[in-house]
Amino acid sequence: MTTREARVLPSKNRSHELWNSSKIPQIRGARYQYPCLAPREFAMKLPFMQTAAYLKDLFDLSGKTAVIIGGTGELCGTMAVGLARAGAEVVLGGRIPEKAEKRLHEIQSHGGRGYFVPVDVTSRESLHSLLETVLDRSGQVDILINGAGTNSPTPFLEITEEEYQKIIDTNLSAIFRACQVFGQYFVDESRTASIINLGSISGLNPLSRVFTYSASKAAVHNLTRNLAREWADKDIRVNTLVPGFFPAEQNRKVLDESRVLDILRQTPASRFGNAEELIGATLLLASTKAGSFITGMEMIVDGGFQAMTI
């Protein structure tokens, strides 16, 4: 039987002949138009049914280097593990070597590769040093994640200028600096790249008790869309990953029992997220194949919080 004959849609009275198991050896190797009609054990052996190979092709990050600023934190550290397991070499940028060591041990236990570079996100010189160190050790940067952040429950009429500026500087200005430093490298080297900025559900709609945090994250969302527009024709994609409510260090100071109950009532999934649930979105945005046409997007991972009204 020829390949052309195998692609003909079988009528009801011919289907048993075309897909009869006794005829399979005669047509093995042909690319069938209707593999769903084949016996299951045969269809599973067809070349284009190799699910693992297909997914690897879409999401494989082998040969890529990912810099995760804030990679010693709970959420970004878990995202770094996901990137490493997908094949990327990961660089954890942060302030606390002990936290990085623990996370790197986890990465290595999965067969991944990575290292720690100390960085102060409020210093442009420190960010330049981070880039230079990574280029010296890894030779390239392909993925940048900006995830450093801080929060405060101080009421509006009580917050000082210094505390306000600290939140704005860490949450917004730090991303501005990092995108300038690494963006210049991407542009100068004509390098295809992905930048993922960590936004917040409070950057979409203001949340009580965290007005400065909400304002800073709303600005991050806007900055991200601006950069996506500016750099799209240079194959530099810039997106915002928007977590809903996840257990994280910076949240503990603003979460009491009543607040937790309010959040759960507003979240259709009726629970907080797990850090691992950010990995899928991270891999999609980082991949030059699966996410190649995605830029300027706010990818929300929130258990339905943003979709809830009454």
Q: Which helix (H) or strand (E) holds 91?
A: strand 89-94
Integer Cα distance of 81 and 237 in angstroms: 21
Residue type, 215: A
Integer Cα distance of 119 and 98 in angstroms: 14
Integer Cα distance of 141 and 131 in angstroms: 8
Q: What share of the chain is helix, strand, coil (3-state, %, to 5)?
A: 50, 15, 35
Give the bridge partners for 242, in sequence order.
300
CA torsion sign, 280 to 286 to 289 to 293? positive
Integer Cα distance of 200 and 221 in angstroms: 9
Integer Cα distance of 104 and 14 in angstroms: 59
Integer Cα distance of 177 and 216 in angstroms: 14
Rounded CA Rg of the chain: 24
Q: 263 near 244, Cβ under 8 Å?
A: no
Residue type, 65: T
Helix (H, G, I), strand (E, B) or coil at 168: helix
Q: 260 near 288, Cβ under 8 Å?
A: no
DSSP structure class, residue 111: T
Integer Cα distance of 284 and 78 in angstroms: 15
34 is annotated as an active-site residue: no
- Enumerate the active-site residues: 213
